[in-house]
């Protein structure tokens, strides 16, 4: 029988005591040299810095946290109903968050919550496990926001909120959606259908406002019978597509790529040509539709950059720096073969 033993602790890591002993100075002197604070001769400071560089000394983050009364952890809250395989937004933004956090010696803890329960977040707050929180999706009635405010936990919303007292960083969804629909209207399209997800999520309402504003600015009447919200199941999407086909819609605009993928699959089964018989576009561009033929007109957002900026905003706020209350990240309208405008 094979026997396994964890050798992880066998490799001795140099400590502040080791540095002090090797240089025949006090631990306080080593600490001052590393932090750059306190009175210490320049020759001694340089001698300490040279030694730790040569011996790959890394300050203990736990000890550093205790000294500064920080955990060096931040929590990223994601909805429990999201499917990471189908929602590239969460994958890309998490990558940006983790890279930015790591650059500042922070670790990221993933927390899932639902519309009905914030138990996981409540437990982390009770155990003082993090210095701040990033909320990755905003809801109309968001219990996580109330919870964080109640306990005075620093947090940033990676999304949009009508509450001006909430720090928020988001893609400029409204402007992007408005520009796309405006371009369609300018090309002569009028019967532009819209299929979207849950109205409980702020991002979907924001996209809807962009859609509505485009019609208002063009002084064109918006046909409400061509708008389908809360299409959060294959059956609902199927019903919406059937209705739009019967109404002879000229274009189907999808609020995100998950919905768009379902719409395209339905159109293929019905042998409906895109874009000659009906045009298709998406308010979100991701790898999910990368290999589709024809290529899909969509709005491009840099979600990794969004995640990094959100994390930086939180860490700056934790560190006592002044931060902008509301930040919007720009977009790109990418016209492809699925539309004719």
Question: In this structure, is residue 141 part of a structural domain?
Answer: yes
Residues 128 and 145 in one domain: yes
Tell me the CATH number at 126.
3.40.50.2300
Residues 241 and 181 in one domain: yes
Give the DSSP per-residue string, 159-223: S--S-TTS-EEEE-HHHHHHHHHHHHHHTT---EEEE---TTBHHHHHHHHHHHHHHHHTT----
Residues 89 and 158 in one domain: yes
Using the 3D structure, point to which of 8, 37, 59 is the last residue of a domain: 59
Residue 30 has pLDDT above 60, yes or no: yes
Helical pair 27-35 and 42-54, crossing angle rounded to 10 deg? 90
Question: In this structure, is residue 3 part of a structural domain?
Answer: no
Q: Average pLDDT of 74-86?
A: 75
Least confidently predicted of 42-51, 62-71, 201-210, 262-271? 62-71
Helical pair 16-23 and 27-35, crossing angle rounded to 10 deg? 110
Residues 165 and 180 in one domain: no
Residue 77 has pLDDT above 80, yes or no: yes
Residue 9 has pLDDT above 50, yes or no: no
Q: Average pLDDT of 281-295?
A: 90
Question: In this structure, is residue 23 part of a structural domain?
Answer: yes
How far apart, in whole angstroms, are the C-alpha atoms of residue 148 and residue 122? Answer: 9
Instruction: Give 12's DSSP letter.
Output: P
Segment holding 69, helix H or strand E:
none
Q: Average pLDDT of 120-149?
A: 88
pLDDT at 10: 44
Residues 204 and 283 in one domain: yes
Question: In this structure, is residue 187 part of a structural domain?
Answer: yes
Question: In this structure, is residue 51 part of a structural domain?
Answer: yes
Q: Dump pLDDT digits (tens) for 153-188.
A: 999 999 988 888 899 999 999 999 999 999 999 999
Residues 234 and 85 in one domain: no
**Domains contained in the chain, number:** 3
How far apart, in whole angstroms, are the C-alpha atoms of residue 185 and residue 220? Answer: 8
Residue 294 has pLDDT above 90, yes or no: yes
Question: In this structure, is residue 5 part of a structural domain?
Answer: no
Residues 294 and 231 in one domain: yes
Residues 136 and 191 in one domain: no
Question: 65: pLDDT confidence band, cut at 50, 70 and 90?
Answer: very low
Mean pLDDT, the chain, integer: 88
Rounded CA Rg of the chain: 26
Residues 275 and 317 in one domain: no
Residue 23 has pLDDT above 90, yes or no: no
pLDDT at 5: 52
Residues 161 and 21 in one domain: no
Residue 109 has pLDDT above 50, yes or no: yes
Residues 158 and 260 in one domain: no
Question: In this structure, is residue 318 part of a structural domain?
Answer: yes
Question: What is the torsional sign of CA 286, 288, 292, 298?
Answer: negative
Segment holding 256, helix H or strand E:
none
Question: 210: pLDDT confidence band, cut at 50, 70 and 90?
Answer: very high
Q: Which domain holds residue 33?
A: 16-59
Residue 272 has pLDDT above 90, yes or no: yes
pLDDT at 68: 55
How far apart, in whole angstroms, are the C-alpha atoms of residue 327 and residue 311? Answer: 13
| C-beta of residue 239 within 8 angstroms of C-beta of residue 171 | no
Question: 221: pLDDT confidence band, cut at 50, 70 and 90?
Answer: very high
Question: In this structure, is residue 228 part of a structural domain?
Answer: yes
Residue 1 has pLDDT above 60, yes or no: no
Model confidence pTM above 0.85: no
Residues 192 and 222 in one domain: yes
Question: 114: pLDDT confidence band, cut at 50, 70 and 90?
Answer: confident
């Amino acid at each position: 029988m094979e026997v396994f033993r964890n050798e992880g602790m066998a490799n001795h890591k140099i400590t502040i005591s080791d540095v002090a002993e090797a240089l025949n100075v006090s631990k306080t002197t080593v600490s001052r040299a590393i932090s750059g604070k306190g009175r210490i001769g320049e020759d001694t400071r340089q001698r300490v810095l040279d030694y730790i560089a040569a011996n790959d000394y890394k300050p203990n983050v736990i000890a550093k946290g205790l000294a500064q009364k920080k955990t060096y952890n931040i929590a990223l809250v994601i909805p429990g109903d999201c499917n990471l395989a189908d929602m590239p937004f969460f994958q890309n933004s998490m990558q940006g968050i983790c890279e930015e956090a790591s650059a500042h010696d922070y670790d990221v803890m993933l927390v899932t919550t639902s519309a009905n329960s914030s138990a996981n977040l409540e437990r982390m707050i009770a155990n003082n496990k993090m210095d701040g929180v990033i909320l990755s999706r905003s809801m109309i009635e968001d219990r996580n926001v109330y919870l964080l405010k109640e306990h005075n936990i620093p947090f940033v919303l990676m999304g949009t909120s009508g509450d001006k007292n909430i720090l928020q960083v988001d893609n400029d969804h409204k402007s992007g959606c408005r520009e796309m629909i405006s371009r369609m209207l300018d090309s002569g399209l009028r019967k532009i259908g819209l299929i979207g997800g849950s109205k409980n999520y702020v991002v979907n309402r924001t996209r809807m406002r962009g859609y509505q504003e485009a019609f208002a600015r063009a002084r064109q009447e918006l046909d409400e019978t061509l708008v389908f919200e809360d299409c959060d199941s294959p059956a609902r999407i199927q019903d919406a597509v059937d209705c739009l086909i019967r109404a002879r819609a000229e274009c189907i605009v999808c609020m995100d790529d998950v919905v768009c993928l379902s719409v395209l699959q339905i159109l293929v089964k019905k042998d409906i040509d895109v874009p000659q018989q009906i045009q298709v576009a998406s308010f979100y561009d991701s790898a999910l539709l990368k290999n589709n033929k024809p290529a899909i007109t969509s709005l491009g957002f840099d979600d990794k950059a969004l995640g990094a900026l959100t994390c930086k905003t939180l860490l700056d706020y934790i560190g006592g720096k002044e931060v902008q209350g509301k930040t919007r990240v720009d977009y790109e309208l990418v016209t492809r073969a699925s539309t004719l405008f």
